[in-house]
Amino acid sequence: MLGGIPMAREDVGTCGSCDQTFAYQLIHNGFNESAFAYCDQCGSTALLDGWNEGIPEAAKIKVHGPVNPEAEALLQPCSCGGRFLAAASPRCPHCSAPLSAAEARSYIEASAPGTQQGWRWQGTWDGMYCIIIEERLVKDNWMSS
């Protein structure tokens, strides 16, 4: 179980900067009715449940992809001191380098069962899918009103 999200399986990726491996989980935000953002310093993932009753009204949350600007401004900072932003990228848990979406395609598609039926990953960090690296996840981290 990953922060309340059942883990179907643990996949492994490789950082293009330091060549170290890490566990990851790919999340389909359309199926989850969620939005996401990454920490601009450590790359942790914030998942925002579109059905959460604690969503501030001013957030005007839009689900199925990266967090919208109104919602982004209402997220608590990351425990590392960074900010959760739609434009940030996931980062390597070993060297902190931003992970390349283009390089991620090889390990994501190699691990995905749907690839054999023609599924292809979006190839970007700002689409329907987000990634959780080494269980670095916060959920519904809204600021108190």
pLDDT of residue 67: 97
Closest by Cα among 26, 76, 24 to 48: 76
Evaluate whether residue 44 is within a structural domain: yes
pLDDT at 9: 59
Residue 6 lies in a domain: no
First to last CA, the chain: 30
Domain annotation covers residue 119? yes
Q: Within a domain: residue 2?
A: no
Domain annotation covers residue 81: yes
Burial (CB < 10 A; 0-12, 13-18, 19+), residue 56, is middle
Identify whether the C-beta of residue 25 lies closer than 8 Å to the C-beta of residue 7. yes
List the domain range (segments joined by +) for residue 88.
Answer: 11-136
Task: Give the chain's residues under pLDDT 50.
Answer: 1-7
> Tokens 């579109």, residue?
50
Q: Is 145 within the bounds of a domain?
A: no
pTM: 0.90
129 assigned to some structural domain: yes
Total structural domains within the chain: 1
Question: Residue 5: inside a domain, yes or no?
Answer: no
Give the separation between CA 90 and CA 99, rounded to whole angstroms: 6
| Two structure tokens written together for 58 | 């001013």
pLDDT per residue as tens digits for the range 69-108:
999 999 999 999 999 999 999 999 999 999 999 999 999 9
